[in-house]
Amino acid sequence: MSGGRVITLTIDDRDCGAREEQTILEVARENGIFIPTLCHLGGLHPVGACRICIVDVEGIARPQPACVTRPVEGMRVATDSPGLRRQRRLILELMLAEGNHVCSVCVVNGHCELQELALQLGVDHLELPALYPRREVDASHPRFSLDRNRCVLCTRCVRVCSEIEGAHTWDVMGRGLASTVISDLNQPWGEAESCTTCGKCVQVCPTGALFDKGKAPGEMRKRHSFLPLLTAMREEE
């Protein structure tokens, strides 16, 4: 905590009080202002990986990710406009076009954060041509599987494994379209010695990329309510 200096800013023309270590997303949520998110998850460090939470800040030409932008005295933030909606939809379309997101055969169909976001943002089809990449499935772990076709590189699995479990089994390898989640030194998950089989990565994954084995389409529900509790309890210690 940095002395608790209070900053005043406006979000959607509403006066808001904030502490300087907060983010625009946190302040907006405290004030009941909704900003859509995907990679953000309470209890994990924000990384601004997905850019769905972009907002307009007066005086800055490009939209800024609300999850990693700090409030500044007198800042004027707009969270919703036709332009922002269009940009958010395009970002989501790029994500969908880059993977193989086939809802009807997915374990989290009906309980998927990516699917929910598409409905929320009104993405009912892709204007962009889909790439249909060939991506690998890793089913070498005895309890869980990784289907990279459904991965949006939000890095929640990487962060929960490193920050909460302390194992850092997961990381991201490659650049651009070749980026992929890997376990240990790009070994099959089942051979990754650092993995404790805690399953936190599976629970925080917003899509069906990480899932329990033996689940049929639509059967998998993710539970990450443990995360803010764990973080809060550790802060108390």
Sites of contact with other proteins (CB under 8 A): 100-106, 109-110, 112, 115, 118-119, 122, 124-126, 129-130, 132-135, 218
The DSSP secondary-structure symbol of 20 reads T
**Least distance in Å: CB of 84 to other proteins?**
19
Q: How far is the CB of 125 from other proteins (least distance, A)?
A: 5
Q: Which is nearer to other proteins, 136 or 191 (CB)?
A: 136
What is the distance between the alpha carbons of residues 170 and 160, in angstroms, rounded to a whole number? 9
Q: Between 190 and 218, whose beta carbon lies closer to other proteins?
A: 218
Distance CA 24, CA 53 (A): 10
Select 126 or 198, whichever has its Cβ closest to other proteins. Answer: 126
- Minimal distance, residue 20 CB to other proteins, in Å: 40
Between 5 and 221, name the residue whose CB sits nearer to other proteins. 221
Report the nearest approach of other proteins to the CB of residue 98 (Å). Answer: 12
Q: Which of 83, 82, 47 is nearest to 65 (CA)?
A: 47
Please calculate the CA angle 34-103-86 and round it to the nearest 5 degrees: 40
User: What's the min distance (Å) between Cβ of 204 and other proteins?
Assistant: 21
Check if the beta carbon of residue 81 is closer than 8 Å to that of residue 57.
Answer: no
* Exposure letters 80-103 (e unless 16+ CB within 10 A, then b): eeeebeebbbebbbebbbbbbbeb
Q: Report CA Rg, the chain.
A: 19
Do residues 41 and 53 lie in contact, with contact meaning Cβ atoms separated by under 8 Å? no
Closer by beta carbon to other proteins, 62 or else 125: 125
CB of 2 to other proteins, least distance (A): 44
**Cβ distance to other proteins smaller for residue 80 or 116:** 116
What is the sign of the dihedral through the CA atoms of 65, 88, 207 and 221? positive
